[in-house]
A and B are shown apart, each in its own frame.
Chain A
């Protein structure tokens, strides 16, 4: 069973549907016992970093997620959920993340060449930087769907794929059992489903 951590952020309809489509039982839950009992944990997220971290902390689930990661349970952060795995974010101020991965989240604004639109919205190609079990069923150059205005940097040790948007942008990360996707696998067609399938087999 895959537990999707529900801390009051975002719409999890598609994520649940996509996991069901690959034959995985999935439960959206804020129950620490259910998250601890799950085989795998997904940390979703949309919206602003500060607000999301605050909600995760207030829900009491921050420690549960950290505990699962420390116990070696496969954990995947998606979009803002990935960004929260890092040490800190500079989205509207400075906020502390979960610190599971080394690196920080910075705005695209001022860091992209002129003329590129922000947010980075649409399908963009993955460039593999390191081998990962997450890529078992997909190929280099496959496109996935992104929607974001901030990105992770200083994460060379966990970077497994990036994408080109005026500059290399962190697309996927992994350190041991901790995974993250900046893009939305649940909105990335068959490539996305294959990434979720690979995660469910880790």
Chain B
């Protein structure tokens, strides 16, 4: 049986992990390589590196660091942030990324998904979507969740999957940062709407939230989180053990 994936997400700026991570056994807590290795050793099933750099020099640093990560860490790597063109796909795939996640780039140019899927295969193209409730409707937000696009989220996700997105990361702005649990209502609807793997993001605050996610939505494929892993509130090994104990199939 395929296992449920647990995915830590690391924000990288100018080649360094931001949001001060606090692990006593790491010599350099903002090194993407050290942190990536740490998570990989702890049992993370995949890593997401999100490039939040704005400058082109920062972008260059990011690809350098990505190459170093990929030389030393042998689990799937997904890269997102600043992916607007096929050249951006090419740039990160050449440095060892396995999948590329697109968000605002796909909103600006939906054809990007189809072009990338044709060139690299659907398994390589991850749609990342920030969703927030507005006037009783699920809306797609752009620019890191700052801008309401006016688009209805479920039809946008369906459209992107039809264009060739092979996985969908759904980040609920309503639950993000609140640590009150994943947005089960939204995730259930997305899960039922598409045939490709869906990754839940936004809202995990404790181990129980992951158990609830996979119990409430048995077909959900993965749970993604950032700060609860980085600050050590949830240790991946503990999370895996508790999921296993709850009867949820995970890789241990």
Contact = CB atoms under 8 A, between A and B. Distances in A.
Interface in A1-58: 11, 13-14, 17-18, 20-21, 46-47
Interface of B: 1-3, 5, 40, 45, 67, 70-72, 74-76, 93-96, 98, 121-123, 166-167, 195-197, 219, 221-222, 251
A120 B195 contact: no
Contacts of B1: 124-125, 164-165
Contacts of A165: 1-2
Q: Chain B contact residues: over half helix, strand or loop, or mixed?
A: loop
Contacts of A122: 2-3, 5, 45, 197, 221-222
A109 B40 CA distance: 32
Interface in A95-125: 115, 117-125
A170 B127 CA distance: 29
A112 to B, nearest CB: 12
Contacts of A143: 3, 251
A69 interface: no
Contacts of B96: 11, 13-14, 17
Contact of A187 (B71, B76, B196): B76
A193 interface: yes
19 contacts: A11-B96, A13-B94, A14-B98, A17-B74, A18-B74, A21-B72, A46-B121, A117-B221, A119-B123, A119-B166, A121-B197, A122-B5, A122-B45, A123-B45, A123-B251, A143-B3, A143-B251, A187-B76, A187-B98
B2 A120 contact: yes
Nearest to B252: A143
Interface of A: 11, 13-14, 17-18, 20-21, 46-47, 115, 117-125, 143, 145-147, 164-165, 186-190, 192-193
A47 B167 CA distance: 17
Contacts of A189: 40, 74-75
A47 B197 CA distance: 19
Contacts of A13: 67, 70, 94-96
B59 to A, nearest CB: 18
Nearest to B3: A123
Residue from B75, B167, B221 with most neighbouring chain A CB atoms (10 Å): B75
B159 to A, nearest CB: 19
Contacts of A118: 195
B5 A123 contact: yes
B171 to A, nearest CB: 19
A187 B93 contact: no
Contact of A145 (B76, B95, B196): B76
B156 to A, nearest CB: 20
A49 to B, nearest CB: 12
B123 A121 contact: yes
A78 to B, nearest CB: 13
A143 B46 CA distance: 13
Given A119-B123, A187-B98, A145 B93 contact: no
